[in-house]
Structure 1
Amino acid sequence: MKVRYYPYSLPPATKGIQISDARLTRIILVSFILLTAAGMLILPGRMRLAYPGLSFLVGAYLYFRNPTLYLGFTWWIWFLTPWVRRMIDWRAGWAEPNTTLLAPFLVTSITFFTFARYLNKFDRPYNFPFYLSGFGVFYGILIGFVSNGQNAVILAALNWFVPIFFGLHIAVGWRDYPKYRQMIQNTFLWGTVITGVYGIIQYLVAPAWDRFWLQNVFELGNTSFGRPEPFQIRVFSTLNSPGPFAIMIMAGVLMLTSLRWKGVLFSIIGYLNVLLTAVRAAWGGWILGILVVFAASKPRMRKRMTISFIVLVTCIVVIATIEPFSSIILNRVETLGDIQGDGSYQARVAEYLKILDASLFEFVGNGLGYEKDGLRVGFDSGILDLFVLLGWVGTLPYLGGLLIMLISLPKFVERHFDAVAVASLAISLSVFSQVILGNVFIGINGVFLWGFLGLLICAYRYYSHPSIAAFQLTEVE
């Protein structure tokens, strides 16, 4: 008797009315979308709890029954949840903190089961970096429980841990890499188009729900998003702020380099949004990413990339020099040549000089959830956050796990060309390069960093398998 093994899913039912997994999955996803839309219109206040709960249930079903679709669903929840929150607040009134924003953390935290399942295999070279960095976060949790409040530590732990869980989950699914690759390509193609188009509409029109949200953000003292008026907003599209959206759209346009001319066409939307966010760190990250893709590509692809890059730059320069786009873009570009007169730059330098000396002597660290004078401590630097919160004891293993992957994985790209793997390497390095100017280890930024590192390991293990390595590898489109 032949026994089937279901590594990610439960055995199919054998009695009663049979519904195929594909059909049931479509029913569940359509129902989720309709319930969310109806809830935002009819009972918006209750959706602050219902939306995270529904998201978690759908995510749990997909995790066990359709791991590939689970990846796409998780990315879309990260992309769209801040917009859902704004729609709910617009209808039901401002609420801060807002439980709606727990949805992506809950959906991604399901990958804790993968983390626990492979715990007895932590010493394997592919898994070890994730568990090494996870140890650094776990250390920060222990110190936080001793020094800080329990609730603060739990919320901070979600921010720090779920990206690592997600990255490991992708890495260990290497047998399904071709499916993962296609899902990631499709997700970021349509993610770039949809969020990019909305970002342009947001800049030109300033929808009522975005204006309402910005006005309340201003009352909390944050004026860095521009003004709640057309042509005055620093674009954040469906995300929560310009910084995360800039990283998301940067990742999108880098992933589109794996799609030939179709990717070039849709990249115009993405590049315009990168400029409209006015996040200079993302501009630098994008340049680094393009250089990585160019260096890792085959010679015949470099010619195509050069032509497409010239076309893209020409289109973007033309668009950026005409109103209504030129005012925000050119003003921000001019600050690149006047660093000494840049207030943002000067503020960061002052913060570094004030904190760096003290943080370098933080051997034990203050733990996750650290508060000072009643305010949650957080800096515009992932490095400062690591030393202040985790100390040397937690920072060394955390950075050690990351650096092991960032140093070793480019060698794989040199031997086995895969356009999506190359784009993943470019995205990972681009996000990490912004660590001095922002905390790229937590939340959606961390999901991009760890998620694409996990996809790189997934590709590496797939192509290293004897049954795959026996064939001559060709360019994957």
Structure 2
Amino acid sequence: MDNPERNFSIAPALTALLTISGLVTLLAQARVRTSLAYLALCVLTSMWLLLLGTRRNGTLRAEHFHSNYLFFVIFLWFISPEIRRVDDYFNGWDERSFYTITPLACTLVSAIGWRLRGIGRQPAVFIALLIPAMVLPYVTGLFVAGTMPATFALANWLAPIVFAAYLATNSDAYPSFDSSLRKACVIGTSLMSFYAAYQFAFPPPWDIFWIENAPITSVGLPLPGGFRAFGTMNSPMIFAPVLASLIIYIFFIRIRFKVIILFVATAALLLTSVRAAWGGLVIGVALFVVLRLRKDPTSVWKPVAVGSLGVLAFLAITVYTPYGSKLQDRFDSIGRITEDTSFNERLDVYELGIRRAQSSLGGEGLGTIGTAQALSESSDAETAFDSGLLQIPISLGWISGSWYALLLALAIAQLARGVTKSADPAMPCYLAILVSTLVQMIFSNRLSGPAGFFFFLFLGLYACAKTYKQHNRPLNSVGTGHL
């Protein structure tokens, strides 16, 4: 049996990322619009890596290409928004940029790598059956919202599911996925967190340009220290939940410079000022402790360490930056939640949203609310909706929404079975990330778009790891691997 801890080179994916991003950035500075070229090059690279892996299934060569495809796609979600901002800064604001759909398209390419013989296994079958839940809402959205908003919304909901099914049906490639995931998460978290800290203090002109032009109102002022950090992603509301999931994952693997990475990442998360992600991180860490206490009582020191890092980051930001008073106010508002403006506004959203959900059994359709509305011709586009839970019955309807929720619950329940008895810390780690993300659905939708991609990334890897463990020797990769 092959060693599940073996290291896989990410040189092809890294070379492709550096070449493509470097090329389009240079062309953008030369006043050449590059969004279509970026889309084409990334899709072709994704297909190349995936096809090479699929044609050699069952071999180490196949795992090498699967590993590179995973790394490539994850990093596209990390860097595409930032490259778009550079392009827009030099070439003018592009409301419908191809940069937005590039990560979605490359994620959907994963359908090529589905192994049909694995679809019938649980929980892969539950994940795959989430796809039919999108059919009726999409058709409804075509008539209500229009072709562009409905199709973009469909891609945001569908791509993460397709990717999770790809991971779940390629269980024999789990060692390569695990190796690639560690590298992508560590490098990506480090890059985004350090950049977020720099961005907050010395915002580059393209980020200022984005704040001034993007259809988001809750970021803040385009001034140093005057906005909520969003790193290389489009907004703090996207950056924060993704970063919270990555912090939980990095916290439970053994890597060099772990303390430094966690400290900077925690500080970056605080600078987003997204309280839902703060709470999700705390719940995720706490859940891991509960799940692992029986098997590894010494793991108690880990949440204490990460909590200490959070306190240190909070104190550093409070004492040494102008943002300290604002951050203190955000923490204080948790204690007086009924007086908080955003809390009361969210209560109004829930009250109105429940009425909307009750009025339509079939739902309003995909593209009627959320970021996809930015593609509509409506003058009162509803691009922000402060409830992920209500977005399911409103967009998907009660029929499709119930189907979606039931199958997702069955998939997670099947994966969670026996997690407290598992000696592999990967299992409770993945489960903690999933629960951490789901609790944030009270505030915003975390099951589609970038946040949805990382939710289903860990769901698919959870299914992949569990199937691999059932058919091979026990895993011990998370927590012991090194970069």
The TM-score with structure 2 as length reference comes to 0.86
Q: Secondary structure at the match of 1:99?
A: coil
* Residue identity in the other structure for 1:277: T
**Structure 1 counterpart of 2:208, which letter?**
R
Give the unaligned 5+ runs of structure 2. Answer: 1-8, 53-64
For 2:62, the equivalent position in structure 1 comes to none
User: What amino acid maps onto 2:136 in structure 1?
Assistant: Y
Residue 400 (structure 1) aligned with residue 400 (structure 2): no
AA in 2 matched with 1:72: F
Alpha-carbon spacing, 1:453–1:81, altered in 2? closer, same or farther (3 Å): same
Is there any run of 5+ residues in structure 1 with no aligned partner, and where?
1-20
Give the direction of change, closer, same or farther, for the CA distance of 1:474–1:330 in structure 2 (3 Å limit). closer
Q: Give 1:403's aligned amino acid.
A: A
1:57 aligns to 2:49 (yes or no): no
Contact 1:416 1:463 in 2 (8 A): no
Equivalent residue runs for 1:338-357 within 5 Å: 338-357=336-355
Is residue 124–residue 165 contact of structure 2 (8 Å, CA) maintained in 1? yes
Report the equivalent of 1:458: 464
Offset, 1:97: 2.3
Aligned equivalent of 1:186: 183
Distance 1:35 1:233 in 2: 30
CA contact (8 A) 2:254 2:480 kept: no
Q: CA deviation at 1:445?
A: 1.1
Shift, 1:210, TM fit: 0.9
| Structure 1 match to 2:160 | 163
CA–CA distance in 2 between the matches of 1:344 and 1:32? 41
2:366 corresponds to 1:362 = no
d(CA) in 1 for partners of 2:218, 2:250: 29
CA contact (8 A) 1:368 1:389 kept: yes
What amino acid is the match of 1:169?
Y
Q: Which residue of the partner structure matches residue 32 of structure 1?
A: 20
> How many Å apart are 1:437 and its aligned residue?
0.5
Report the secondary structure of 2:217's partner residue.
coil
Q: Return the alpha-carbon distance in structure 2 between the equivalents of residues 22 and 206 of structure 1.
A: 31
Code of the aligned partner of 2:226: Q
Q: Which amino acid aligns with 2:22?
A: L
Greater CA drift, 350-359 or 33-42? 33-42
Offset, 1:474: 10
Task: Describe the SS at the equivalent of 2:309.
Answer: helix
Cα shift at 1:255 = 0.9
CA contact (8 A) 2:71 2:180 kept: yes
Please, which of 211, 214, 228 is the counterpart of residue 214 of structure 1? 211
Distance 1:86 1:462 in 2: 40
- Return the match for 2:273 from 264, 274, 278: 278
Structure 2: how far apart are the matches of 1:254 and 1:474? 12
- Across the two proteins, how many residue pairs are aligned to each other? 449
| Equivalent of residue 288 in structure 2, options 290, 293, 303 | 293
| Residue identity opposite 1:348 in structure 2 | R
Tell me the secondary structure at the aligned position of residue 78 of structure 2.
helix
**Residues 40, 345 of structure 1: alpha-carbon distance in 2 compared, 3 angstrom cutoff:** same
Question: 1:418 aligned to 2:424?
Answer: yes
CA distance in 2, matches of 1:130, 1:123: 10
Q: Which residue identity lines up with residue 276 of structure 1 in the other structure?
A: L
Does structure 1 conserve the Cα–Cα contact (< 8 Å) formed by 2:13 and 2:71?
no
1:79 aligns to what?
78
Report the CA distance between 1:153 and its aligned residue. Answer: 2.1
Change (3 A) 1:223 1:56: same
Q: Identity rate of aligned residues, in percent?
A: 26
The question of whether the paired residues in 2 share the 8 Å contact of 1:181 and 1:420 is answered with no
Task: For residue 111 of structure 1, give the secondary structure of its aligned residue in structure 2.
Answer: helix
Give the conservation status (yes or no) of the 8 Å contact 1:144–1:370.
yes
Match of 1:429 in 2: 435
Confirm or deny: 8 A CA contact 1:29 1:58 kept in the other structure: no
What's the RMSD between the two structures over aligned residues? Answer: 2.5
Separation in 1 of the partners of 2:12 and 2:195?
A: 30
- Give the corresponding residue for 1:195: 192
Instruction: Go from structure 1 to structure 2 and tell me whether the alpha carbon gap of 1:83 and 1:306 turns closer, same or farther (over 3 Å shift).
Output: closer
Is 2:454 the counterpart of 1:448?
Answer: yes
Q: Does the CA-based 8 Å contact 1:255-1:423 persist in structure 2? A: yes
Aligned to 2:59: none
1:5-404 paired onto structure 2 within 5 Å: 28-45=16-33, 47-65=34-52, 66-114=65-113, 118=116, 122-217=119-214, 220=215, 222-260=216-254, 262=256, 263-297=258-292, 298-309=295-306, 311-324=308-321, 325-370=323-368, 375-377=380-382, 379-404=385-410
Shift of 1:440: 1.1
Aligned partner letter, 1:264? V
CA contact (8 A) 2:160 2:456 kept: yes
Q: Secondary structure at the match of 2:367?
A: coil
1:73: how far off?
A: 0.8
| Structure 2 CA distance for partners of 1:291 and 1:100, relative to 1, 3 Å | same
Q: Could you tell which deviates more after superposition, 346-355 or 133-142?
A: 133-142
Which amino acid in the other structure matches residue 36 of structure 2?
L
Cα displacement (A) at 1:284? 0.6
* Alpha-carbon spacing, 1:150–1:430, altered in 2? closer, same or farther (3 Å): same
One-letter identity of the residue aligned with 2:178 = R
Aligned partner of 1:8 in structure 2 is none
CA change 1:280–1:145 in 2 (3 A) is: same
- In structure 2, give the amino acid aligned to 1:259: I
Counterpart secondary structure, 2:360: coil
SS at the partner of 1:110? Answer: helix
Q: Which amino acid aligns with 1:59?
A: S
Matched residue, 1:15: none
One-letter amino acid of the counterpart of residue 337, structure 1: G
Tell me, what secondary structure is at the counterpart of 1:468? coil
TM-score, length basis structure 1: 0.87
Task: Provide the rounded CA distance (Å) in 2 between the counterparts of 1:411 and 1:426.
Answer: 14
Distance in 2 of aligned mates of 1:288 and 1:146? 40
Distance, in Å, in 1 between the alignment partners of 2:14 and 2:480 is: 29
Amino acid at match of 1:364: G
The Cα offsets for residues 360-411 of structure 1, whole Å up to 9 and x where unpaired, read as 3421222223379655556221222211122111001111121112223222
User: How far did 1:148 drift?
Assistant: 4.5
Q: Return the offset for 1:282.
A: 0.2
**Helix, strand or coil for the counterpart of 1:340?**
helix
